Chains A and B, each alone.
Chain A
């Protein structure tokens, strides 16, 4: 009877909301900031890969006319209002709009360094703006918010997050909420894209060990927030690629691409919960021993914030959770 009543009673639980891989989507970031209230969560965690992947030029055509292309749809604008509306649409999708002219376009197409500089400016500028937005939105809510960058995020992002008042940078740290401790990293095993935070499995294993060794909470009160999912759990199933990075078999052929080091760390530490992202298509949950592993997936381009609501009760197995699409 006690077992049954405990199943139906919420008791003193900590509710955590987790989302990841928003890749510059303004819509997803705004939704994330509101997710705590929406899901009545005590803690919000944003996994890695906050920054966008593409710059969208809006090219001046003369006589106040502008031209741009989004999702292969070419658009022309005649008023400032139309341009602003387009810029908002671009930001909502996770891309960075920028105004330019044909001469600068020609320079950008030729000069890789110039493009890099522009990317840096836009990405970091956006993260800075987002942190200001977070400080305004979270003020007085009492909800704790943790953000850890992912393998696609450049290192300067950490510094900007550290500067926020109400968002705590979680990368490489053991952070605490209530009785729980969470350790986070955005580092991943090698990818075909040679991203900012990736390394060989051995080095990743050492990194994870150093971090998890700092945890003092018991496993049932520990959370691993590792951007990269554990190998072979289904949370890491990505399209198999050809050498020139085309999905094989129309994208239906999938292969596990997660990290064995992450898997070993979870096996060894047996935290109550492991939070992952990285592979957008591999939405789901799995168990490694007692550990509940979650990858909520990502649908940032569609402006859908995929996430997970988890009720942590401090017991050895987390049972109350749900994947959401908000």
Chain B
């Protein structure tokens, strides 16, 4: 019998389809923690710190981590007001208009993620193939995966793996991700313990031996690395506030995506779901930031801070006794001495990569779907196989990623265009942030019906306050990327390339809008609210 009601202090519910108990914050946390992946994105982002040697990397991580809590509250608010509505595309298109929403979402969630495939591949090479090749004595593999062909090959592996995850479906991917998270945590814990119990002199000995055995670098590789790093200008010199702040746009490469899985399924029933989303996203952000600081302090203790900076500086300058990227996982593994244990540690740490790979296509296919449902893209885009595989949307991710990866690996200047990868995503987030800030005024009915409508700060809606604060962060980063040479994003070719991406998105929108109008379908109707009275 359906009317088997349940009582509580607040309401009586009857048995009806979709009435669920609360979802687990821990599960949301895992997805968010993978999105701001400390071992992959984090360690690579930290390696750029020597470009601003007078800033404090640790302080920058703490400041950015704390400040980005505003991002988590902004996105939790958007979810509370328009849950399961398709993410940035739907929020922006419903609040600011269809054209703007489409252009921002398509560039930030579709086009630019083709360019993330070679970035993922670069990390696969740096953290998995090259270290494992070196540990297993496969010199040919080390050389291959350090070169252009190896990068292209790794890109194809990433593209195929991500496609496989999407094809397996969310159910299987969620399981794989959970396994990788727990496995990766074990690897991280082991890494921390090794760093904690090892002394500087242990590391110097291990590094010199490892450099010789794995990469054929003779002599005192430790001292050679420091010298090469100093020559490249990568010696840490201080912790002034402004240079520290200038490190934050580098860190955005790592910590800007706690909202990646923002649109969770299930009925959002009240303030507790709003809080849960904050706990999941902000929890992951703080957890990751705390572990980042712990790792860096341990690097300082065991590797030596000067060495850590010098190794990265020398790598980016193309100097130093070892040509491979100084992956801290491998540096830690060197302390183990035993080759089998070294391989196991690097392999277990690689779970952080393999649990994360699906994210390069997964969210994008959903955005592509959402635009097709709005008929801005054609119907075939949303087709699935009988097993539910979104093959058309997947192909729209996979196929363009192949030439993009090829150009990234073999093209002369193309790799610099890919530097826009974070910038374009940040601009998309800025669109959602502006939508969030203005929502109480532009969509008052929807906003006032939400569980967060009563939250105010000095009389101003909380969503507006947090969105303005997060918007300030994004504007600061975007300004620096555009106008500061440090980040390598503001070259003319890169900007033109980025503008082309936006122009293509705009062209698609205008083209389909005209086509739909000719077919008697006014796309304005997609976004129009029906009057209530």
Contact = CB atoms under 8 A, between A and B. Distances in A.
Interface of A: 7-8, 10, 13, 23, 27, 30-32, 34-35, 38-39, 49, 53-57, 69-73, 89, 92-93, 95, 108-109, 112, 115-116, 118-120, 151-152, 154, 191, 193-196, 232-234, 237-241, 244-256, 278, 280-281, 283-287, 299, 301-305, 309, 311, 319-326
Interface in B3-17: 3-5, 7, 9-17
B174 A195 contact: no
Interface in B433-457: 445-446, 449-451, 454
A69 B270 CA distance: 10
Interface stretch (B119-127, B193-201, B248-256, B369-377): B369-377
Contacts of B387: 232
26 contacts: A10-B519, A30-B533, A39-B525, A54-B13, A95-B11, A116-B3, A151-B17, A193-B19, A194-B1, A195-B15, A245-B19, A246-B23, A248-B27, A249-B175, A250-B23, A250-B24, A253-B170, A253-B174, A254-B171, A284-B369, A285-B373, A302-B83, A302-B446, A305-B530, A311-B520, A322-B523
B379 interface: yes
B272 A304 contact: no
A107 B28 CA distance: 38
Contact of A53 (B13, B21, B84, B518): B13
Given A69-B9, A281-B265, A49 B17 contact: yes
Q: Is the interface of B mostly helix, strand, loop or mixed?
A: loop
A325 B449 contact: no
Nearest to A98: B12
B521 interface: yes
Contacts of B390: 234
B30 A250 contact: yes
A288 to B, nearest CB: 9
A92 B27 contact: no
A322 B388 contact: no
Q: Is the interface of A mostly helix, strand, loop or mixed?
A: mixed
B18 interface: yes
B446 A250 contact: no
A55 B11 contact: yes
B20 A246 contact: yes
Given A73-B454, A304-B446, A195 B11 contact: no
- 6 nearest interchain CB pairs? A250-B27, A326-B530, A71-B451, A249-B174, A251-B265, A71-B270
Contacts of B526: 322-325
A281 B11 contact: no
Contact of A152 (B10, B17, B28, B81): B17
B15 A194 contact: yes
Interface centre among B1, B14, B525 (most CB of A within 10 A): B14
B384 A286 contact: yes
Contacts of A287: 383
Contacts of A34: 530-533
A240 to B, nearest CB: 6
Contacts of B446: 302-304
Interface string B356-392: 0000000000000100011100010011101110100
Nearest to B519: A320
A238 B388 CA distance: 13
Contact of A73 (B15, B30, B373, B451): B451
A31 B532 CA distance: 5
